[in-house]
A and B are shown apart, each in its own frame.
Chain A
Amino acid sequence: MTEPNRPASGPTDAPPDLQAGELDEAAIEAALAEAPAELEDATETPADLGTLEVEMERGVLLSARGVTKRFGGLLAVASVDFDIPEGSIVSLIGPNGAGKTTFFNVVAGIYDPTAGHVDFRGRRMIARPVKAWLEPILWFAPALVGAILTAVVYGATQSQPIGVALGLISLALLIIMLISAVARPDWYQRILVRAGVFRSARPNDMVKAGIGRTFQNIRLFANMTAEENVLVGMHSRLAVGVADAMFSTPKDRKEEVTARVRANELLELVGLHGVGDELAKNLPYGDQRRLEIARALASEPALLLLDEPTAGMNPRETTDMMTLINRLRQDLGLTVLLIEHDMKVVMGISDRITVLDHGERISEGTPDEVRRDPKVIEAYLGTPAA
């Protein structure tokens, strides 16, 4: 099956669009009203990533509520609610431009949502920033306190060295805070949470939390070998730092050996044999798709986001890919969120399907329910002529 084309927008399309806009405004209002309250409740016990703990339904791995993303005048995703039950394969479908990849990118931490939030494994990972104005104050506070102390000490004691030392220390603190604001290490995130400031997790934080992804247009590290690609995927699970690497400590050597063994295991798992030394760009197309999955698996995700994994594949490759995805769930216990245009794939492996159109969720249910939903048929094929 090929990509269904959206019919040229006729006059019938205009009213739903307007409605969507209104709905969206309401959703934003609601999200804004509820977000700060929830955040304040949850400021206790910040964990590794400094994100907030939230209540989640049992058995739900990821839950998105009221996710909205606006690009200027374009409303790409309009207040979408989405639950991914643990251990399931969930698909996201919709005509071209329906907002699927945008929603994906919000979940993966690439875009900040305009409104709404995404919770993952009981943590609020993605939401609109809250109390962002507090952050600059946080940077300058140490320097300000230092400056005042410097002035007081200098004035009181007439002792120059102490005053100068205090000044230098406060300057150093300012520099550290400014750099931390850019790099956002874990301890800085924790301070932010304590202060009630919330900023969305970034892509690398999402990977660390357990979400791996692939891209619609394959984005491998073209000039690195297949093995290196997988090793990069392992980045967040490896601990070797600059000093370890420079002095080649036993920790570094041990980790490197185990990482390489693991990388080759992952390549085997996705069905790539003996291509570890090949440059990624020299692999055949189907193998590149597989390599991307191996790389995503290397981060030991609980949830795998696959953006059109069978795009551009022939029927046999497509069947192989479906087998692979099913195996990932069975053997590794992975939960999978899939964007796909190939209906054979979607209907064949999904437990549940969500349909987006014009950024809105128009249908949700099992493959059979969605297939019969008149709204879905309308979105794909247009309304019958009166």
Chain B
Amino acid sequence: MTTTTAAAPARGEPRGIRARIENFGHEHRSITIIVGMVIVALILPEIVKYGPFPDFQGQAAWINGFSNAGVFVLLALGLNVVVGLAGLLDLGYAAFFAIGAYTYAYGASPFSGNDGPFLLMLLVGAVVAATFGVLLGAPTLRLRGDYLAIVTLGFGEIVPIIFLNSEAYTNGTNGISGIYKPDVPFYGEFTLLNPWPFYILMAVLITLTLIFVYRLEDSRVGRAWMAIREDELAAAANGINTVTTKLLAFGLGASTAGLAGVFNAAKLTIVSPDQFLFAVSFTVLAMVVLGGMGNAWGVAIGAFVIYTIQAVLLKQLNTFFDKFHVPVISDIDFVQYQFLLYGLALVLMMLIRPEGLFPSRRRRRELHAAEELSGEDSLGASPERAEEAG
């Protein structure tokens, strides 16, 4: 990428290995992402063979869990574009996840009688979800902040209910089952017993998404999103078509959710309305906030860690403690306390580290600058303040 070419000479030649790696990462970001993802994807299956991990579950189950976590990483990356970059609070993000999943269920299942090729369906799912994102956005994006949040919340509730109630088309509560497994050229059909193909496919999807998100973030488009997040009126007064730019954020965010939906439907081979409840939207939003809003890799790690804790650790803690006969603790069902733990984590985060676990450099500066100035508003003008009539 070219983003630092203008700034780099001013900083001088980097010294030390760490600085050099950082500098390389800045200038060749796509390569860095690919290398990083390959390393992570290779290390993860090895790590779970050692230490306490095998006590929880076997390697195959871990890898299966990682692919599921990947679904949430994708969702968090998409929502990060909408919430973190463009600053549009979307509380109904699971709706696009649902639309992606049902798109694949229609495209490749005995229920509809279609059998679309998986890779094509990934694209179709993304496009359909993006279309709905834009459709939802078009009438609502004139709303600001809280109002937009309420409308998206409503949309997030409506979509699963429509899937639930239009029995003739969606099979209602039972959902659509027997969805075909992915069938990829050069490999063939995925099977339930082998978790590796899903794992690798997910790693590829996340890598691509990360590359795209980073490139967009540092482009004219990404700057326009941030400008709208900072001050919408000023953005419009600087030539940004705020409506199309916000629609773009909504559409791209939704398309990522669509990808995740297709993958999830193909992996679980069943879609039903109860997979897409508000809890999903909320979980993804919590992942974005905890991971570090606006920072793609922070959000990705946040989503991965949170999902793994929730889906693997909490479930296995019970058996783990039972095994060692720990008094009192072994009586607690940790899964029951999942949302309590979430709430606690969110409250603690907001108190101790409001910028998230891995904040973007920008946000860290933002919060630290605020400390240095001891809360003084150096701009002398809050973005929300209305223009006074002269």
B30 within 8 Å of A by Cβ?
yes
A316 within 8 Å of B by Cβ?
no
A71–B389 touching, CB < 8 Å? yes
Inter-chain CA distance A98–B388, complex, in Å, is 12
A235–B226 touching, CB < 8 Å? no
Given known contacts A242-B248, A253-B2, A104 and B390 CB-to-CB distance under 8 angstroms = yes
Inter-chain CA distance A107–B114, complex, in Å, is 56
B222 / chain A contacts, CB cutoff of 8 Å: 245
B323 within 8 Å of A by Cβ?
no
Given known contacts A245-B220, A246-B216, A257-B6, A232 and B30 CB-to-CB distance under 8 angstroms = no
Contact with A along B117-149 (1 / 0, CB 8 A): 000000000000001001100110110000000
The contact of B138 among A179, A247, A259, by CB within 8 Å, is A179
B252–A221 touching, CB < 8 Å? no
A281 within 8 Å of B by Cβ?
yes
Query: Which of B71-79, B189-197, B238-246 is the contact stretch?
Result: B238-246
The contact of B3 among A179, A233, A256, by CB within 8 Å, is A256
At the interface, is chain B mostly helix, strand, loop or mixed?
A: helix
B279 within 8 Å of A by Cβ?
no
B234–A285 touching, CB < 8 Å? no
- Distance in angstroms from B300 CB to nearest chain A CB is 18
The contact of B365 among A102, A279, A298, by CB within 8 Å, is A279
B336 within 8 Å of A by Cβ?
no
A283 / chain B contacts, CB cutoff of 8 Å: 378
The CB with the most chain A CB atoms within 10 A, among B3, B220, B243, is that of: B220
Contact with A along B150-182 (1 / 0, CB 8 A): 000000000000000000000000000000000
B270 within 8 Å of A by Cβ?
no
Given known contacts A97-B390, A99-B390, A228-B226, A220 and B219 CB-to-CB distance under 8 angstroms = no
Given known contacts A179-B138, A219-B231, A222-B230, A207 and B237 CB-to-CB distance under 8 angstroms = yes
Inter-chain CA distance A242–B234, complex, in Å, is 22
Inter-chain CA distance A255–B218, complex, in Å, is 12
A208 within 8 Å of B by Cβ?
yes
Query: Which of A125-133, A144-152, A209-217, A323-331 is the contact stretch?
Result: A209-217
Interface positions, chain A 309-326, Cβ under 8 Å from B, are 312
A204–B240 touching, CB < 8 Å? yes
Inter-chain CA distance A221–B242, complex, in Å, is 15
Inter-chain CA distance A99–B2, complex, in Å, is 46
A279–B139 touching, CB < 8 Å? no
B135–A175 touching, CB < 8 Å? yes
Inter-chain CA distance A7–B375, complex, in Å, is 37
Inter-chain CA distance A96–B10, complex, in Å, is 46
Inter-chain CA distance A276–B11, complex, in Å, is 12
Q: How large is the interface on A (under 10, 10 to 19, 20 to 34, 35 or more residues)?
A: 35 or more
B383 within 8 Å of A by Cβ?
yes
Q: Which residue of chain A lies nearest to B1 when distances are taken between CB atoms in the complex?
A: A248
The contact of B239 among A99, A103, A207, A339, by CB within 8 Å, is A207
A217 / chain B contacts, CB cutoff of 8 Å: 380-381, 385, 387-388
A117 within 8 Å of B by Cβ?
no
A218 within 8 Å of B by Cβ?
yes
Inter-chain CA distance A295–B380, complex, in Å, is 18
B248 / chain A contacts, CB cutoff of 8 Å: 242
B236 / chain A contacts, CB cutoff of 8 Å: 110, 202-204
B366–A235 touching, CB < 8 Å? no
A104 / chain B contacts, CB cutoff of 8 Å: 390
The contact of A282 among B223, B241, B378, by CB within 8 Å, is B378
A105 within 8 Å of B by Cβ?
yes
Inter-chain CA distance A283–B278, complex, in Å, is 42
The contact of B223 among A204, A228, A261, by CB within 8 Å, is A228
B139–A182 touching, CB < 8 Å? yes
Contact with A along B358-369 (1 / 0, CB 8 A): 000011011001
The contact of B380 among A71, A102, A221, A285, by CB within 8 Å, is A285
A237 / chain B contacts, CB cutoff of 8 Å: 239
Inter-chain CA distance A33–B241, complex, in Å, is 32
A100–B227 touching, CB < 8 Å? no
A203 / chain B contacts, CB cutoff of 8 Å: 233, 236-237
A350 within 8 Å of B by Cβ?
no
Q: Which residue of chain A lies nearest to B219 when distances are taken between CB atoms in the complex?
A: A245
21 pairs, A vs B, C-beta closer than 8 Å: A182-B243, A183-B241, A216-B388, A218-B381, A219-B381, A221-B227, A221-B235, A223-B363, A224-B226, A232-B238, A232-B240, A236-B240, A237-B239, A241-B221, A248-B30, A257-B2, A279-B362, A281-B379, A282-B378, A299-B239, A307-B390
